[in-house]
Structure 1
Amino acid sequence: MLGLRKGVIGFLGFMFLVFSYNILNNGPLQIRSQAGQVQSSTSTQIKLWGVPFRPLEPCWTEPSRKSNRKEWGYVLVRCSQGPHHHRFQIADAVIVARQLGATLVIPIVKEGLTELASNFDDLYTVKHFIATLEGVVRIMGRLPEDLRGLNHTSIQVPYRITKPYIDQNIRPIFEKSTVIVLDDFLPSMEDVEEEQDVEMEAIRCLIKYKALMFQSQIEKLGNRLNNRMKEAAQRAGGKYVAVDYRSTDTACEEERDVVHTKSKRCLSPRALGLLLQSHGFARETAIYLTQTRLDESFDPLLNLFPNVITKEYSMPFNEESQFLYSGRTQLELAIDFYICSHSDVLVPIHSNTFYTAVAGERIKLGLPHILVPSLVTRPKQATETTLLLGVSQMVAAKTHPAYSCLCEHGMSERLAKEPTSPASS
């Protein structure tokens, strides 16, 4: 009996020690665990959604505005391939007209080889465009009546045209023709040293980040679709991902997960889903895809991410006929440009002009979180590469041209271009 009593007393004493240890240690242990969870959660959120930045403001050198300059002759420009190309095409047209001392006619927007041209004011606010360029170049709505209907000389020009090129190749034609049409834009001249002309760069900044403003209907529709995406993303805190998935490369039609061509990387819908999943995006993540609609080939993506949304799904019924079924691809591209510029994250599958132009707009708006697919070689497996998402090099190292045009309030251009963190892939 005495032995039993001692055993009970010993057991109770042991339990008291255990209880005391828990009382003394449970609080700090729980706090450390919670702190670890918070830290992990915060780093994951930054990895997925980035951190907010303040919108940037113009800090380029203002181009001289010569109100008493004498103009002679006219320059027309036919823009094509969407708003992401228009910025570069119109900037070059303004530079050509200014260098020649000519009047710029309001641009024409080409829909395609078999489609009708659109009016400039179908996409952009004309009054804002003219007011922004007042004194930089003279602008007219259309050619004088006696020059309409004639066959005018069409000229091919390279992107990022230079003054010497204009004087040597375009001026002789212009002086004979009076009216020239910039109708075909070629790749930039790789064998010509980049001309560092402050005034020309200022004009390019002015066009890309101020002069071209979408007309009110596109702005309102884009804002409405952006809000719809945020509503669809409520389970992810109202944040969504925009993926530019479009490609005209026939190699992308091959039935393989990843296809590498000379200039592009193509991903199957399944590979896209696996790539987003490997980066940590949850199944319920809302994804805007730059497709008009989805067919059965996207089922593997929908199995991984069922909350994939397209223009057809998100657009109000009464505006579908105007924007989706009118055959005017420029309007669809304008909506894609707007949504990809305002999403919480952009994932551009292809490194192209759309990516460059949208990245500039996002930098201006303070939304620089862009995740770009890149091939990474494992240290211990030199022969194997993995496709991962990494922060855009143009943003991380601040090498995007936007950083030469835009700064934080009160910040100089030099400080604006200093990297804030080590460059990523």
Structure 2
Amino acid sequence: MEGRSEGVQLRSDKIPAPVPAPAIQRTRLQVWFIRVCSSILIWTCFVQLVAVSELWQPRLLAGLSNRLIGFTKVSFQVEEVPLSPPLLPPRNYTSNGFLKVSCNGGLNQMRAAICDMVTVARLLNLTLVVPELDKTSFWADPSDFEDIFDVKHFIDSLRDEVRIVRRLPKRFNRKYGYQPFEMPPVSWSNEKYYLKQILPLFDKYKVIHFNRTDTRLANNGIPLYLQKLRCRVNFQALKFTPEIEALGYKLVRILQGKGPFLALHLRYEMDMLAFSGCTHGCSKEEAEELKRLRYAFPWWREKEIVSEEKRSQGLCPLTPEEAALVLQALGFDKDTQIYIASGEIYGGWRRLAALRTAFPQIVKKEMLLDPEELRQFQNHSSQMAALDFMVSIASNIFVPTYDGNMARLVEGHRRYLGFKNTTQLDRRKLVELLDLHQNGTLLWDEFSVRVRLAHEKKWVSQLVVLLLQTSPRKKIISMRILKSAFVREQVVMTCYSLAIRLQSSEVCHKI
């Protein structure tokens, strides 16, 4: 018995003493604490690696992050919505006063003027009031800025350059007896004019109202940073309202659904003919009507005009009949889809008869859209012009019959979007050839060949050749111009717009 008890005693000696309960709890807590910390550390590293992969895109991590993002989209079935670019920090400067501007002219003349006025406000460190649009011109369009352009986008997208407000503070309101100083700045003025003559006026008048804005800033001799700002306003800040964009994109989709199309800016409208005095192809009654209209507007300075002289100099828009012949001579066949990017053609569909016979697939926005869709734009010529602007930019080929404001701005915008084809017609040469053909001197085959040769020579000798030579170190865009007949500001804008798109400090050089 004693032996057994000893054996039992020996075995019991090998059994460890029981651990107190509090010690067990502490050990378990330590283990769980280590596990939790390790998990947090691992997930933190994983998230950081995924974030880095989005920036540097190593193959493994990029594929993993893309699969994760794709899984999230499939799981929640969320429709991808394009995000607005983040707002840039506002430029910090002491404002020298408020600049109020009233733009004059049609949509595209006002658009160019807005680019200039933003640039002037930046140069003089001013606060710009959202521009007023012309309501008293020939078109009598009652549209305000916010009816055509996205005013919030306009203000936000330029906040890092210019402070823009929707309206003047109450203390500067006419209702409270304040009379702002009004003046038209001198046309084609340079930087020195605004710094020496305009800026000192803000010491006396805290608000200056520019009551005319057309061509009030020079095209050349302006510092690079101001030219770049000009382009940025035109190509990025002046965005049409969602309503205009939606209808404009619908027009483009309808046209593209039928195949490639040509946008013909047929500037054969009543205001253009009256202003220019171009009456070729009009009856005597129509010529008299246009003359009376010219005299009715005092700011149209030139009154007595010899139509045939201007036409022979290439200063008149082509008539619809002439446009039909030229397009045929250039090789466009009758199946070409043509969109008429214009307002009401003087003489109506009667004057379009020859063009419709030559090109049956001629359409206008009124033919493509439901009348109810266009109702909100009726009697708003600038909003209608905005639709034509959008379609012209998106067209496969753009052909203006006159080099007015819209033709120049559309051409420049098409270059900015990727050097799309714009056919600039040599009207002076065309008038000569058209007259020879119509009096029987030139038969069709010879007429067609000479029209093509005239424009091939023009495209070779007068085309702007842009050599994009981006240096890895200096990132310089070199620009070579060979006897350019294009408008200078559009040439300059092309170069500077590329600098904006590359988002770097490129310098444009004329070689």
1:160 and 1:124 map into 2 onto residues whose CA distance is 26
Q: 2:260 aligns with which of 217, 227, 239?
A: 239
Q: 1:299 aligns with which of 349, 353, 360?
A: 353
Amino acid at match of 1:249: L
- On the 8 A contact 2:115/2:230 being kept in 1, the answer is yes
2:173 and 2:451 map into 1 onto residues whose CA distance is 54
1:302 and 1:158 map into 2 onto residues whose CA distance is 45
Deviation of residue 417 (structure 1)? Answer: 8.3
> Residues 160-239 of structure 1: matches in 2 within 5 Å?
161-187=189-215, 194-231=220-257, 234=258, 238-239=259-260
Q: 1:272 aligns with which of 298, 312, 323?
A: 323
1:357 and 1:351 map into 2 onto residues whose CA distance is 10
- On the 8 A contact 1:246/1:291 being kept in 2, the answer is yes
1:195 and 1:84 map into 2 onto residues whose CA distance is 23
Q: Which residue of 2 aligns with 1:401?
A: 492
1:67 partner SS: coil
1:357 partner SS: helix
- On the 8 A contact 2:113/2:215 being kept in 1, the answer is no
Q: Which residue of 2 aligns with 1:370?
A: 422
1:121 and 1:306 map into 2 onto residues whose CA distance is 38
Cα pair distance change 1:156/1:139, threshold 3 Å: same
Cα pair distance change 1:249/1:176, threshold 3 Å: farther
Q: 1:85 aligns with which of 99, 103, 109?
A: 109
2:303 is equivalent to residue 249 of structure 1: no
2:495 and 2:182 map into 1 onto residues whose CA distance is 32
Amino acid at match of 1:296: R
1:102 and 1:181 map into 2 onto residues whose CA distance is 12
Q: Which residue of 1 aligns with 2:337?
A: 286
2:146 is equivalent to residue 121 of structure 1: yes
2:503 and 2:98 map into 1 onto residues whose CA distance is 39
- On the 8 A contact 2:320/2:352 being kept in 1, the answer is yes
Cα pair distance change 1:110/1:184, threshold 3 Å: same
Q: Which residue of 1 aligns with 2:156?
A: 131
Cα pair distance change 1:66/1:223, threshold 3 Å: closer
Deviation of residue 79 (structure 1)? Answer: 2.5
- On the 8 A contact 2:264/2:339 being kept in 1, the answer is yes
1:417 and 1:230 map into 2 onto residues whose CA distance is 38
Point out which structure has higher relative CO (alpha carbons under 8 A, 6+ apart): 1
Deviation of residue 411 (structure 1)? Answer: 11
Structure with the bigger percentage of helix? 2
Amino acid at match of 1:120: F
Q: State TM-score, norm by structure 2.
A: 0.60
Deviation of residue 177 (structure 1)? Answer: 2.4
Percent of pairs with identical residues = 24
2:202 and 2:99 map into 1 onto residues whose CA distance is 9
Cα pair distance change 1:241/1:228, threshold 3 Å: same
Q: State TM-score, norm by structure 1.
A: 0.71
For residues 51-73 of structure 1, the C-alpha deviation after alignment (integer angstroms, 9 at most, x for no partner) is: xxxxxxxxxxxxx9873311132
Amino acid at match of 2:350: E
Instruction: Return the index of the structure with the highest Cα Rg.
Output: 2
Aligned pairs, number: 344
Cα pair distance change 1:365/1:350, threshold 3 Å: same
1:79 partner SS: coil
2:424 partner SS: strand
- On the 8 A contact 1:373/1:387 being kept in 2, the answer is no
Moved more, 165-174 or 103-112: 165-174
Amino acid at match of 1:99: L
Q: Which residue of 1 aligns with 2:181?
A: 153
Deviation of residue 151 (structure 1)? Answer: 4.1
Amino acid at match of 2:211: D
Amino acid at match of 1:177: Y
- On the 8 A contact 2:117/2:213 being kept in 1, the answer is no
For residues 223-265 of structure 1, the C-alpha deviation after alignment (integer angstroms, 9 at most, x for no partner) is: 111122223xx3xxx1111111125133333217997165623
1:346 partner SS: strand
2:377 is equivalent to residue 328 of structure 1: no
1:372 partner SS: coil
Deviation of residue 202 (structure 1)? Answer: 1.8
Point out where structure 2 has 5 or more consecutive residues left out of the alignment.
1-87, 283-306, 467-480, 482-490
Amino acid at match of 1:215: T
Deviation of residue 346 (structure 1)? Answer: 0.4
For residues 278-319 of structure 1, the C-alpha deviation after alignment (integer angstroms, 9 at most, x for no partner) is: 111110211111234542111111111111111221232212
For residues 125-156 of structure 1, the C-alpha deviation after alignment (integer angstroms, 9 at most, x for no partner) is: 12221122113111111011122225433322
1:216 and 1:193 map into 2 onto residues whose CA distance is 31
CA RMSD of aligned residues (A): 3.5
For residues 357-415 of structure 1, the C-alpha deviation after alignment (integer angstroms, 9 at most, x for no partner) is: 1111111222520112112799xx9x999555557677543452233123398699989
- On the 8 A contact 1:360/1:401 being kept in 2, the answer is no
2:372 is equivalent to residue 318 of structure 1: yes
- On the 8 A contact 2:99/2:208 being kept in 1, the answer is yes
Cα pair distance change 1:302/1:160, threshold 3 Å: same
Deviation of residue 209 (structure 1)? Answer: 1.6
Amino acid at match of 2:402: H
Amino acid at match of 2:493: A
2:374 partner SS: helix
1:125 and 1:66 map into 2 onto residues whose CA distance is 19
2:212 and 2:155 map into 1 onto residues whose CA distance is 23
Amino acid at match of 1:404: C
Structure with the bigger percentage of strand? 1
- On the 8 A contact 1:403/1:416 being kept in 2, the answer is no
Moved more, 406-415 or 331-340: 406-415
